Structure 1
């Protein structure tokens, strides 16, 4: 063997290892399997539980049915038993397993008897095996018990063996996913003896059980089924072990079954037989149904039966497909080759019609053309009820009467037209009028009307136009031949016209569905907002299904109702529990499912490659969707999930951009802080060090210079810290501007005096109008704004004086600060009031934190004013920053305010 092949062979199967990893996160399921009641399943569980309890293992009893057996009841002593939940059903009180209490207790192992039990009342799940699946998903090991007759795939076999229809059944996948299956066996003769001794049922029930179910032949057959199923499960576990440890084994790897079903009772038997065959072969299997592309769908009952069969197949672990085509044999074989199927399973119905020798059944056609693929035929029973009823046979008498009336009206019109024409001219091909009547009947009313019109046309043509007229006899042989040819042609033409009508109707329906989905896709493609997507989806769903619809999205770790149509729809506690289940478990929940079926809604998860993005719910109320509604809903949900995911990704992209921008701002802030703090601190530190070391030996003038430097840099630090605090107040929304009377002229003079002190080399020119009124505002904030503007003008205004103007324009007070520096580029003009925006000085270096103008804008807007920057300002140079404040309506005299 080549080295590479040997290396590949020695590697464990990655799929099996991944399944093993996923299994380690869950609890383990141990099933005690028996052939019949009374073999000792519960007794064996409790015996093992007692041994583990003595060993110190945390094991509790969730629910055990002792059926009054004293031996079994004695084994409960010393074990922790969880209290049961009281449920009222049909006026009576029953005790049920308390799932929530078990989850809250969260033991290492819990014993929950009666795996196939059906829950009562408003339980979260209708079946106990679903309760156990939730316990396993929570990481709790579960022990349970079940008899072989409760397996879904064996229901028909058990009914045939024992003559009893088992109502409580579990999907085969439950047993297939079990980690351990322990067979509890007892010889049939010993079991019958225990039954007679009253160790299984009470005496009155035991006698009936012996007569009906507990017969030697029944128990032997059930025991064989249990042994075979346990052996299959052990073989599966052995194959898994070999693959996990890369041990070469003799397992087969190519078996794959394709199961063909239809809307009839035989399909259920086909699916059960295929499930048993797939289990025995350890093979994957696909269930497929065919639908004609040019025909109408079956009636609602047929579609419902087909959906039930599909659900049964999915419960047993099959994949499902729906294929549309006209040549069923070709479509089935094409699917079989595409899916690499090795065997095809199909039902073979007994055909007792006289024409059975002239036509080939679908099963025979498959067997003839399936080269290289095995074909299994599942025979039908001899019961007449197994034969399906066609849609046309189910038409109501009222509909048939209407169709016949249309045919009679068309034939009567053709007859009247023919009689009128014969008064003026004799025609040899008057029968064409009746062909036209047949075509019209077929076009308007379908196949039944076409056949009726053909028969009526033959009679009318014979009575009114074939000699002797007025009788139903035909005198000439050629007329007899013409009559029968006409009748055959009329029937063929009517059939073809009816079929064309059906094809056109189906094509219109599909075109309407495609157009609806296309319009919906276009709507979603142009929508990026999540709320718009949700409203489009919920209205489209409600319009298509004609039922109330809701959409829920995740919010703060939970899901919440986002949109609903009609808008006044509300969800109850049960509805929200079903919606959460669909979101968390990624499976359908609510009405018509195995999880919280008491809810009137059915909830479906919106699945994307990135996971579940939401949940869609619609009102079902025990009225399942038709097949076309199901397909359209699936398409809408897929598109909605993609659109919601796209909107989410778009929002995340914007958030990421905002975070990057925030990082940019933070980097700029840190850079500014490090520079603006380090420079004055270095100056102050150096001056203080020099004064301490050389203070007595330094000239008076040098000491004064150092002290002045300390004072200036301290002031600079103070302004810097004040700017940071002011910006923080503005962004936090805690800035509260006072509304006092303010003399603008005084504020301007004070700001200029302060700027002159800090910038002694800069010249300032002021121009204050004499009639300047008072304004409502905060003199401290206004003074800080003017100082920030003067500071900015000093840094970027060149060597020319800075001008400050204050005047009145209408009902506004205008303040402006103008410098004659280089100015601001048009691209930068709209950013001058942004945080951390710093424009370079003429020497190419940037100064300051870029907060001064941003703070000025915040202060001005807090006082109800506006601020604007203009550049160039004077003679194509410089920058002017102007502020406008409203004039107070009632202003006191300046003397009174002084």
Structure 2
């Protein structure tokens, strides 16, 4: 019989107590390890370590420097002057003089805290240890506490991810086991924009090196990805400490470290209300919000009102900071569950089914199959929403069935005409045509319906004895089984193809809009080149007029794009408001929506460079939430490129 997590309620197991006792025994004689973690050079790891150490010194602690790399940064050099520095060893290797920690001198001096920069460093040949973290292990065992620094790319578990991001595999790495024993990991974080400003100001590298670094390593995409890795690593480290805390207090768990809420909406008058309710729930649980919609049929099958409902709900979710996901598929429940499992969703919000809809709603399938995921059912507040009876009754007999019946009737007529000239085996092949057509073009249940009906009709009309369902020749029975199998296989393949193609085309459009734009922005040499690049990319989202508006003494003017853009007084006033307030405005927004154009500021957190102006011929089709996210990404990438000039 498997033992319970706890022998008695409120008391930890003996193994947990033994683990705690051994850990405390080791820590009683060892020094404390504090690691300052960053995602790139220049975020301020060494400076923060020195500042904290200066505070420890003011508190009466004995603090010395065992090894420091200031890179001649004036502010860092000024802090170093406050500490005793133990001279480093000088080791000659291939006509180079390499500085390394003098371990014996540090141990002999035996301070309470020693500062050692660049944890991932590989020691010079002939040193006592191959790696610097091994030097630190010896100091910790000697009872000396250590403050040290490291970047995320040097942690062993992150090595593959970093190589994929920057295209270079980092050779100097630190084992995760070493960092897991750290008493404290402090994340030193700045935005990529602030880091690039430091780089330009010469606070990270000298000018020539800084320019080369921006072109190679310090690209915004690289920095964003590395920063995300550092934040995730820090979250995982915190989660491990939380589990340790739980073990010492016999708290059953585990506690979830992060939550992700998936709200599933469909076209209807309550869709937007449901998104807002999901946002409130996500805020309460401190969860990430994902707004998810599945288009079961072709989007053109939706009425204008239904399209308005779904787009408005998605736009509300995007405005509230949620991630927008829109799929096409034949089975709503399958799509919800597939996405939830793949995206590590912890909660799902669904609309509560009403009326006769409860018999066909995907809600119950999601509830039954969403193992390990909390499910919340949303009920509209206030006056109940009237649902027409035809919306409650599942529509099984659709146009697809009618078309299949017409094709079956046509093939039966052809076989009646040919049965005097060809044998039953060839007639059976002709009878397969409706099955193939419906399996390829229609839903699975339509294909199976067509296959079954075709079998019955063929058996009744063309297999002896005629006009009965009796089968004397079992070869026909095998053929009939083949009918069903072929219909099922082709329908599955066709369904997957119909589902994947729109997603692939959408992904290609998004990738081209962002990666293609990024490539062109890198090659741009002047502000005007960047404006022209943005204007050219804006034409890819539908027919209309597009321009980049730039500031001038007389107000905004057309800097690139279509010179006949309708920038009359009303549109110019809306664009000017967007520029002055740094907010999106115009058609399809909550800010001055009476305008015809859609205006996005080209801005970073520091300044605004201009406005991207869109006037689509069919704004309802172009200004959908997915496209708006792409537009904002384009504007942000353009602003970053302008800031780096």
Higher-Rg member (1/2):
1
The structure with higher relative contact order (CA 8 Å, sep 6+) is 2
Q: Give TM-score, length-normalised by structure 2.
A: 0.47
Q: Give TM-score, length-normalised by structure 1.
A: 0.35
